[in-house]
Amino acid sequence: DQHLTLLAGPCAIESYEVCAQVAEQLKNLTDELKINFIFKSSFDKANRSSGSSDRGAGLEKGLAILDRIKKEYQVPIVTDVHESYQCQPVAEVADVLQIPAYLSRQTDLLVAAAKTGRVVNIKKAQFMAAGDLQGAIDKVIPYSNKILLTERGTMFGYHQQIVDMTNLLQLRQLGYPVIYDATHSVQVPGGHGNHSGGNRDFAFPLMRAALTIGVAGIFAEVHPNPPTAISDADNQLYLNKMRPILTTAAALFSQYQDQKESWDQDGLL
């Protein structure tokens, strides 16, 4: 595509109101900036560090909210699935089914997602090299070739995560559009003992880096008031900062598109 893709929204479906506020503003902004916008939010935080953390709206209520957002704001939807049985009902609403990073080796889940015919967004696990995602791709392609590959950072010791930007280059070679997840990549796993912390300030600089290296899209958690969010409070982006962030992102995307042929000819891509 000639336009940047953006998968964004609040981490968890906290309420219709929060979803609607984010969807409306991002829809307007991305229309203006010619960015392909896909609204993202999770109906279930199925792998919270702690069992007593809020898990969000749940499957039924969550899908109803996503469906309302989809219709009211005319935006496609991406959300994640955690067990095989969820794929069918989720696919009735979501245009993109996302495989969480920890689950990216679960054959049954990948197959069930692929069989829905929806796009499957596979997040590369934090313990995986880029090439290892070929195994996940091979599980999907007998049923569907609508695949996205998302980089969301790599474990580096205990309670630490880094982004190895060469993964973007290597994922690209697998032949599917590569998305850079700008906010989970700056998580600090276990950073607050019983829940994850994050370095929100690193999200925009690393997003710029990914875009100048060359990606098809950006994934970002965006919230009207991140510190009050029920999850990823330390790394979600502020909704009211998305104008300068997305303006830069769209410009860097275009810049890469403009130069890639010339770099390719010079053997420099």
CA distance 135 to 45: 25
Q: In terms of CB distance, is 36 or 53 closer to a copy of itself?
A: 53
And the tokens for 238?
């502020």
Q: In terms of CB distance, is 64 or 209 closer to a copy of itself?
A: 209
In the complex, the smallest distance separating the C-beta of residue 76 from a copy of itself, rounded to whole angstroms, is: 27
In the complex, the smallest distance separating the C-beta of residue 257 from a copy of itself, rounded to whole angstroms, is: 14
Q: Which amino acid is at 254?
A: S
Residues 192, 45, 123, 209: is their CA dihedral positive or negative? Answer: negative
Q: In terms of CB distance, is 1 or 268 closer to a copy of itself?
A: 268
In the complex, the smallest distance separating the C-beta of residue 70 from a copy of itself, rounded to whole angstroms, is: 26
Q: In terms of CB distance, is 20 or 46 closer to a copy of itself?
A: 46
Residue 1 CB neighbour total at 10 angstroms: 9
In the complex, the smallest distance separating the C-beta of residue 148 from a copy of itself, rounded to whole angstroms, is: 18
CA distance 65 to 18: 11
Q: In terms of CB distance, is 34 or 127 closer to a copy of itself?
A: 127
What's the half-sphere exposure (Cβ side, CA atoms, 13 Å) at 205?
A: 6
In the complex, the smallest distance separating the C-beta of residue 68 from a copy of itself, rounded to whole angstroms, is: 25
Residues 7, 8, 11, 13: is their CA dihedral positive or negative? Answer: negative
Q: Measuring CA to CA, which residue among 196, 118, 130 is closest to residue 159?
A: 196
